[in-house]
Structure 1
Amino acid sequence: MGGVEEHIFNLSQCLISHGHKVIVMTHSYGERVGVRYMTNGLKVYYLPVRVFYNQCVLPTMVCSLPLIRYIFIRERITIIHGHSAFSALAHEAMVIGRLMGLKTVFTDHSLFGFADASAIITNKLLEMSLADCNHCICVSHTGKENTVLRARVHCGRVSVIPNAVDTAVFTPDPSKRSTDSITIVVISRLVYRKGVDLMAQVIAEICPRYPQLQFLIGGDGPKRWLLEEVRERGGLQDRVTLLGSLEHSQVRDVLTRGHIFLNTSLTEAYCMAIVEAASCGLQVVSTKVGGIPEVLPSDLIYLTEPNVPSLLLGLETALANLRSGNVVPPWDCHHRVALLYNWMDVASRTETVYHRVAGEKSKTLGSQLRRYMASGVLPFLLIISLAHLMLRFLDWMVPHKVSIRFTTSILLNI
């Protein structure tokens, strides 16, 4: 489970505790298809849509429209909240919902560039999807600037609401730390964007300088082979431990074993990992990219440039302060993070956005099409028009009252 999934789950739990009805809709995961109930009665629809790469689904507007429409009607949805620029299902649901007269909110959790082909295509698709969105949420001010520029969204329709951490779970436990060595913890997906190449070079250079250092690395990905190669070449099998994939419930137990947390990301909109590490009382050394400088106070984090010499300097500074005792005590660090970030505050700020969009007037089809037309992609207009015709046909074929009864039988057979 990644940061986006954790965000959706925790936000849902807080909204339910505030008296709201929350439904989560996602694609199937292996044999997990149909309707499941989670903590506090959170209802999750696992739609029978197959993933094709990296847990992403192909856009199937025409195929998924009837089922998505039935769910919206059956659950009496009033606001659709999509998450992640890469989620085709979220964008489909938002477009379908807007054509049904529902309000939409979108949260962007990532940063994107403007130069390479994949970024240009993604930005154009995001611009089309958000052309008629009621409101957008970004997890940092840097993320807001990025979304406003690449998706051409008016800044007045974008709010900044950071992520949070469950500080009741991520608590320090200094007794778990080794007294004979200093442990540096890394918990990350082992992919290029997370700076695994930098991490490998840092390990290769700092281990010979400090024989008492230990590295504890949690996570998996296509770049794992690079860390294994560095470990083998340097003979560091007893000093670099690769834990592989971790359940989110295991992360706290790994963090409490460390003294320093290392983050080598090349791009981040927020970075939940450093907040969880600080909540567990670790000294954080991180690259100064994206929204990371906004996340923690300066005395709780050592910010470095995304290069090996700067990361080595940051780690050596953290090690020197750790030896001299010139660091914030673990529990003091935890209490400060608890005051800065909590999910109830995030839920309250999100509710403010919901109340704002709920009071907006519904837009006519003509005004929606004009907004989509401004994106300048004719095929997208044709898809929107086809979706509108399908909705009108379904309204005639299966009216709303009939849909509620009919959907029940469909979902029982998924």
Structure 2
Amino acid sequence: MGLNIAMVCDFFYPQPGGVELHIYQVSQQLINRGHSVVIITHAYDQRSGVRTLSNGLKVYYVPFYVIYRESTFPTVFSFFPIFRNIMIREQIDVVHGHGSMSSLCHEAIIHGHTMGLATVFTDHSLFGFADAGSILVNKLLKFTLSDVDHVIAVSHTCRENTVLRATLNPQDVSVIPNAVISEDFVPDPAAADPSFITIIICSRLFANKGADLLLAIIPRICSMHSNVRFKIAGSGPKEVDLQQMIEQHRLQERVELIGGIRHEQVRDLMVTGQIYLHPTLTEAFGTVIVEAASCGLLVVTTKVGGIPEVLPSHMTVYAEPSVQSLVNSTSEAIKAVENNTVDTTTFHDEVRTIYCWSDVAARTEKIYEDILASDRSETLVERMQKHYQCGPFAGKLFVLCVVVDVMLLHLLEWLYPRRSIDLAKKWPIIK
């Protein structure tokens, strides 16, 4: 029998990105497996209310205030009335939150547990332990994951990071990597200009994605290799700095800034190059390098986070996250392409056998089934004890939040009884 699943995250289409792609593809595959899936996110500009995407995937764009990089302002309790209404309307069995920086995700897991629903969390990022921002996020994560039934990480490095940050039992954390639709990233050798070696960069232009490194790397590579040019797709605060770098070094004919592109345009950009450069400073997985390899590009990337787990070594040239190391590794890749010492024609078929979204959905489905088959009964006192252990000060605050959340649920049940909420009709499943 199919499950009713709610994916909750601040980050979803129309914003492009790896988390957004993951949520969409897993949802589509779960629908193909006979489940009903809805997505809850915040409103994007004029996109608010309820939208239905392909295959009957329903998206609730909730009007909440965005404070930073599409993350909503944490309201703790004001999301509960809307959330409860959606859960009842859609008869949800499993609440699946995504992203440590998503306020809606954290709140959905807390409220979902209060309502007695199964809860799952997927972590897509890596965070440190020393700076103020990481300490705050980690404490919030510890609060949220005290209520969660199971945690999914997209790489083994991400799993270790999440276990340490939230003080979790490693047995409660599974690794399910991202994937690609290999049919959408088929190589086209005729698309690349043979008179140049084109290096492709497709990423958000933020500091954590290595945009500052690009400012130093690109002029040096261009001065060392006269037959090399760059195509950069993406947008962000560092885009202005890249434009200034191009003008300063007079690289208008060597470096092309394309700007933000849709995901369906990524393949057409990839196949025009021979090398993909990914100078990230931190990354839990890196779906874009899998897409690049599937398009037949040799990948130059930094050896950080979960990146070394993603691709076989013959598809990549690794570097340390420093200017000199990246220059050396990029030059090594350029020589490999010039001398034809790497056979990139086999990359697509290899990637196709390694990564598949249907496999990701099947493994996620197994986690849902195991949770629902287990004994999840818990008294309020037992729940409060778990939160109380989160810290001498934070623990008391978390317990207070739980008590208020439970009281709010009873108030909502009295003000807006379940019988007064209309149930949504399910999209017909055609077999």
TM-score strictly above 0.5:
yes
CA distance in 2 between partners of 1:230 and 1:27 (Å): 36
Distance, in Å, in 2 between the alignment partners of 1:371 and 1:184 is 51
SS of residue in 2 equivalent to 1:105: strand
- Residue matched to 2:414: 396
Q: CA deviation at 1:320?
A: 1.4
- Give, in whole Å, the separation in 2 of the partners of 1:217 and 1:141: 30
Q: Distance in 1 between matches of 2:343 and 2:142?
A: 44
Kept after mapping to 1: 8 A contact 2:297/2:344: no
> What amino acid does structure 2 have at the position aligned with 1:134?
D
Amino acid at match of 2:183: A
Q: Is the CA contact 2:109–2:147 (under 8 Å) kept in the aligned structure 1?
A: no
Distance 2:246 2:133 in 1: 33
Amino acid across the alignment from 1:133: V
Aligned to 2:357: 343
- The residue type equivalent to 1:181 in the other structure is F
Aligned with 1:381 (options 399, 402, 416): 399
- Partner of 1:222 in structure 2? 237
What is the CA-CA distance between 1:79 and the residue it aligns to? 0.6
Q: By how many angstroms is 1:210 displaced?
A: 0.8
CA distance in 2, matches of 1:119, 1:61: 19
CA drift at 1:403: 2.5
Number of the residue aligned with 2:140:
125
Percent of matched pairs sharing the same residue: 46
For 2:25 and 2:306, locate their aligned partners in 1 and report how far apart those are by CA, in whole Å. 21
Aligned AA (2:419):
K
Which residue number in structure 2 is paired with residue 171 of structure 1?
A: 186
The equivalent of 1:195 in structure 2 is: 210
CA distance in 2, matches of 1:62, 1:140: 32
Tell me which residue corresponds to 2:368: 354
Aligned-pair CA distance for 1:204: 1.3
Any idea what the Cα deviations from partners look like across 1:182-237, whole Å, max 9, x if unmatched? 10000111111011121121111111111110000000111112222221121110
Q: 2: distance between equivalents of 1:25 and 1:132?
A: 19
Match of 2:43 among 28, 31, 38: 28
Note if contact 2:179-2:287 (Cα within 8 Å) is conserved in structure 1: yes
2:8 equivalent in structure 1:
none
Distance in 1 of aligned mates of 2:225 and 2:61: 49
In the TM superposition, what is the alpha-carbon distance from 1:328 to its structure 2 partner? 2.1
Residue number in structure 1 paired with 2:249: 234
| CA RMSD in angstroms, aligned pairs only | 1.3
Q: Which residue of 2 aligns with 1:411?
A: none
Equivalenced residue count is 406
- Counterpart residue number, 1:300: 315
- Secondary structure of the equivalent of 1:153? coil
Greater RCO, CA 8 A, separation 6+: 1
1:122-168 superposed Cα distances (whole Å, 9 cap, x missing partner): 11111111012100000000000000001111101000000001111
User: How far apart are 1:104 and its partner, in Å?
Assistant: 0.3
Q: Write the distance in 1 (CA, Å) between the matches of 2:81 and 2:206.
A: 37
The letter of the residue matching 2:224 is R
Residues 220-369 of structure 1 correspond to what in structure 2 (within 5 A)?
220-330=235-345, 332-361=346-375, 362-369=377-384
Asked whether the equivalents of residues 80 and 104 of structure 1 are also in contact (C-alpha less than 8 Å), the reply is yes
Selected match of 2:116 from 101, 105, 114 = 101
Q: Quick check: 2:300–2:318 contact (8 Å CA) kept in 1?
A: yes
Check conservation: 2:80, 2:111, Cα contact below 8 A. Answer: yes
Pick aligned residue for 1:7 from 10, 22, 30: 22
In structure 1, which of residues 13, 19, 42 is the aligned counterpart of residue 57 of structure 2? 42
| Separation in structure 2 between the aligned mates of residue 302 and residue 282 of structure 1, nearest angstrom | 11
For the 8 Å contact 1:261–1:277, the answer to whether it is kept is: yes
Report the TM-score when normalising by structure 2: 0.92
Q: Distance in 2 between matches of 1:219 and 1:398?
A: 45
Q: Distance in 2 between matches of 1:366 and 1:372?
A: 10
2:133 is aligned with what amino acid?
S
**Is the contact made by 1:99 and 1:365 (CA closer than 8 Å) also made in structure 2?**
no
**Distance in 1 between residues matched to 2:22 and 2:84, nearest whole Å:** 25
Cα distance in 2 between the residues matched to 1:31 and 1:229 = 33
> Could you say what secondary structure the match of 1:375 adopts?
coil
Deviation of 1:360 (Å)? 2.1
Superposed, 1:15-94 pairs within 5 Å as 15-94=30-109
Q: Return the alpha-carbon distance in structure 2 between the equivalents of residues 224 and 30 of structure 1.
A: 22
Q: Could you tell me which runs of 5 or more consecutive residues in structure 2 were left unpaired when the two chains were aligned.
A: 1-15, 426-431
What amino acid maps onto 2:286 in structure 1? Answer: C
Alpha-carbon distance between aligned partners in 2 of 1:367 and 1:403, rounded to the nearest angstrom: 31
Contact 2:76–2:107 (CA under 8 A) maintained in structure 1: yes
